Chain A
Amino acid sequence: MTNQIKTDFDKVIKYLKPPKENINLRKKSLNKFINLGFPQKKEEDWKFFDLNQIISSNIKDLKFFDKELFDKKNKILIPKNALPFKLFEHNKIIIANGAVHTIDFRYEDLKKINITNTAKNQSSNTNHSLAYLNSAFTTNYLKIIIKKNYSLNKPVILYNFTNEKITSTNINQRLDIVLEDNSRLNLINLFTDYSSDNFININHEFKVGKDSILKNYKIDDKENSNIKYFYNNIDLDQNSLVENFILSSGSKFIKNEINCNLQAKYASAFVSGIINLDGAKQHEIKTNINHLAENTKSYQLIKSVLNENSKGIFQGKIFVDSIAQKTNGYQLSKALLLNENAEFDGKPELEIYADDVKCSHGSTSGSLDENSIFYLMSRGLNHKEAKKLLINGFLLDVVEKITDLEIKKLIKEIIGVSE
C-alpha cells in the first residue's frame, strides 16, 4: 500500500497545485497516516469494527487518485429526481466524487454567509489516523461561516454523490462550519452512491457559538457496497443546542462517530439514530459526549433493527469533567434482532468525575415480543403485518425526536414509517 499511496499523493499534488506551505502540511499528514495505518481491532475504539480487515477484504487495490476529478470539461451528471426536491425548497451544496460541484444558497442573504472553497486545507483537531488520511488527500477544503444573528431561511442539503466512473477507491471530504453567536442552521447530509467498493472518509467539524442552534441530519439510505467513515466534531458554546440524527442503512459498512464537546454552561446535545440493516451489512454509531462545563445536558437514543447476517454496533460514552456539576446525561440503546445470524454489540460507557450529576444509560437487545405479535394477530393481522407494525412503532419513537417538521416528513418517507 505504501508505494501506491506515495505515488498517488504526488499525482494529487501535481494536479491540485495547493500552495507551498499546504504541501508540507499534507506531506506531514501523509507520513503520519502511513505510520499509523488503518485502525485495527486491537485499538479499543475499533474493537467491534476492524477497519483494516474490512478494507483489505473488500477493496482489491487501494487507489487514492482520480484523474477525472481534475478534468474541468468532464461534467458529472447529477440526478435531479432526488426526493427532497419534491418536498421543500432548500439550499444546495453538491459534492461529487469528493469534489465540490455546486454551491447554491439562493434563498439566503449572501452577505451573512461566508463560504470558502480552497485546496488549502486546515489540519484537523483530532489525531486519529483517518483524520490524517483526510487532510493529506482532500481536494476541497470547504468552510462555511454563518454570521452573527443570522438564521437561514431554508435548510441546506449537502448532496454527496459518487458515480460508477470513479477510478480511485478512496474519497476524502472535509467541511468546517462555524455558527457565530445567535445563528441557526439546518443541515442535511444526503448520500447517493452509485460507486462500489470505495472507502469514503468524511470529516465535518462544527463550532457552534453562543445561543446558536445547529440541526444536523445524516441520511444514508441508498443500497451500495461502499465503506464509510463519518467523523463529526462539534464544539458547543454557552446556551447553544445541537440536534443530531443519523439514519444508517444503505452502505455495506458505516462507522458514524460523533464527538460533542459541551464547553460552556447551558449547552445541550441531542443524538438520535436508527440503524436499519439487512444482508451482511455492518454499521456502527459511536458517540463521545464530553460535558466540560456546569449545567450542560445531553440525550442519546439509538435504535437498531437487524435482519439477515447484519451486525449493529453502538458505542456511546458520556464523560463528565470534575467541574461539570449539575450535568444531566442520558443514553438509551435498543436493538431488535430479527434473524438468528444477526448480531448486536454494545458498549455504553460512563466516565464521571463530578458528584452532583444525573447520568444514566440503558441498553437492551432481543427479538420482537411474542405477546405483542399474538395480540395483533388476534386482531386479524397476519404475522408479517404484525411484525411490520411493531418495527414501525419501534422506529417511529426515534423519528419523533426530530424537531424540524419538513425533515421529519422527509425521513418518515424514506424509512417508510407512518403514524
Chain B
Amino acid sequence: MREKELEKLKEYKYGFSTDIESIKAPKGLNEEVIKFISNIKNEPKWLLDWRLKAYERLKILKEPDWQKPKYPKIDYQNLYYYSAPKSFKEKPKNLDDLDPKLLETYKKLGIPLQEQKRLNNIAVDAVFDSVSVATTFKEKLTEKGIIFCSISEAIQKHPDLVKRYLGSVIPITDHYFATLNSAVFTDGSFVYIPEGVRCPMELSTYFRINASDTGQFERTLIIADKGSYVSYLEGCTAPMRDENQLHAANVELIALDDAEIKYSTVQNWYPGDKDGKGGIYNFVTKRGLCKGKNSKISWTQVETGSAITWKYPSCILKGDNSSGEFYSIAITNNHQKADTGTKMIHLGKNTKSKIISKGISAGFADNTYRGLVDISRNANNSRNYTQCDSLLIGNKCGAHTVPYIKNKNLFSNIEHEATTSKISDDQLFYCNQRGLNQEEAVSLIVNGFCKEVLQQLPMEFAVEAQKLVGISLEGSVG
C-alpha cells in the first residue's frame, strides 16, 4: 500500500494533501454564499455590491465553448466557494501562531515561511485554499513604502487603492470565468509600489489547493506607480485527487508612467494521472494595463501542470512608448491539454510587443498557442514580433498554432513566424554518443529549445523550472 503511494508520489511530488480542519461556505453558488464570503471577510458594502453586480451579470453569461480542449460540464452548484483552515477564524498575528501542520505543508513544498529559512531574498505570500496564510519580509518592505499583503488585508487597510483599481483592467462585465471570479473571489495578493521605488527583492505568492470539491478563486492586483519596478513570482501546486478541480483566478497589473512589472509564473498544479483522471482545470484571466507612458509589462510563464490550462496573459499598451512582452513554455504530457497564448493590444503610439512561445507536446496531449496582435488606427510606429515554436514527441499528440493578426496602421509592422518539428534523430544520436541516455538527451534538447524563455525567469525560479521541464517529460520517450 505504502509502496503504491510512494510510486504515485514519484509522478507528482506535490501530490500529498494536508489533513487540516477547515471552515467552508455552504456548497453551491448563490447570493447567500457571496454574502457569506463577504461577511466572513468583513468586507465593506461597496465590495459586496460589486460582487453581487458581477453575480447578476454571471446569470446572463454563457460558458465559452470555442476553445480546443473540451471538458465535461462543471456543476457550479456542487462546489465549495470558500474554504479556510479552521485555525484561521481569528487571523494569526505572526508565524508562531500558525497551525504547525500548515508550516509543515509549506516546508514539504519547499517554501520558506519561517524566519530561519528566509535566506534567499524573496518575500512570500502563501495562499492556502481560500485564504492567505502568511506574508514574509513585511517590515523590510514597509520601510520602502511598498505594500505587499493579501488582498483581504488590503481591502481593510488600503480601501482607496483597491476601490480605485480593482476591476479597472478586468471589469466585472468580462467573460464567464472572470466574472465568476469577481463574484466569489476569496483571497490573493495585493502589491503597491510607490512612486520611484525599485522593489529590493522578488515578491512571490504560493498558491495551494488542499480541500476537495473546492474551487480556488484568487484575485491578484499589482499596481506599479510612476517610475517604479517590481518582479513578481507565482507558484502553484495541488494534491492528487481523482476529481477535477476548478481554479479560476484573475490577475490585474497596472503600470503607470515609466513603471515596469515583471510577472513570472511556474504553474505546476496537479495534471491528473497517466490516464487523464483528475487534475486541475486552470482557467485563469491575466491582464496587464500599460497605463502610463514608457511603461512595461512582461509576462513569463512555465506551464507544466493542470489537466487543462486555458489562459491568455495579455497586455493593453495604452500609454505611448509602452511595451509588452510574453515568454511562455507550455509542456503537456499524457492527457494534458493546454490552450494558451497572449493578446497584445496596441493603442498608444510607438508601442512595442514581443511574443516568444514554446510548446512541447508528448503522450496524448494537445498544445495550442492562440494569440492576438491588434494594432489600432492611432498606434503609429508600433511593432510586434511573434515567434511560436512547437515540438512534438510521439505521434499521438498534437500541436496547434492559431494566431490572429490585425493591423490597421500604416506605420506599424507585425511579424509572425511559427514552426513545428520533432527532436531530430541526429541530435539524439549525438547526445547518446556522448554518454547521455535517451531521457537525459531529450531533457537536454528540450531545455535548449526553451532556453530563450528560461533566461527570462529570475534565477531561483529558473533552476526549478529547468528541473520541472525534465520531470514533466519523464516517461515520454522510449
Chain A interface residues toward B at CB < 8 A: 44, 322, 325, 335, 337-340, 342-367
Contacts and interface: CB of A to CB of B under 8 A. Distances in A.
Nearest to A337: B410
Given A350-B399, A364-B414, A366-B414, A356 B405 contact: no
Contacts of A347: 402-405
Interface in B48-96: 66
Nearest to A324: B395
B422 A362 contact: no
B421 interface: yes
A351 B408 contact: no
Nearest to A320: B420
24 contacts: A325-B395, A340-B377, A340-B411, A344-B407, A346-B403, A348-B403, A349-B400, A349-B403, A350-B418, A350-B420, A352-B398, A352-B399, A353-B397, A355-B397, A355-B422, A358-B421, A360-B417, A361-B401, A362-B417, A363-B416, A364-B413, A365-B414, A366-B413, A367-B411
Contacts of B413: 364-367
A356 B414 contact: no
A351 B367 CA distance: 10
Given A344-B405, A362-B416, A352 B392 contact: yes
Nearest to B383: A366
Given A335-B407, A366-B414, 12 more contacts: A339-B410, A340-B411, A344-B407, A346-B404, A347-B404, A348-B416, A353-B395, A353-B398, A355-B422, A356-B395, A367-B410, A367-B413
Nearest to B411: A367
> Which 5 residue pairs spanning A and B have beta carbons closest together?
A366-B413, A355-B392, A346-B405, A350-B401, A360-B419
Given A355-B392, A365-B414, A360 B420 contact: yes
A126 to B, nearest CB: 21
Interface residues of B, number: 34
B395 A355 contact: yes
Contacts of A359: 419-421
Interface string B351-382: 00000000000000000000000000100000
Nearest to B424: A356
Contact of A322 (B395, B400, B407, B419): B395
Contacts of B274: none
B158 interface: no
B349 to A, nearest CB: 13
B394 A348 contact: no
A363 B405 contact: yes
Contacts of A355: 392-395, 397, 422
Contact of B418 (A44, A337, A360): A360
Contacts of B420: 350, 352, 357-360
Nearest to B368: A351
Nearest to B394: A355
A356 B425 CA distance: 10
B31 interface: no
Interface in B403-442: 403-422
B398 A361 contact: no
A342 B396 contact: no
B422 A357 contact: yes
A119 B393 CA distance: 52
A353 B392 CA distance: 8
A340 B409 CA distance: 6
B255 to A, nearest CB: 27
B295 interface: no
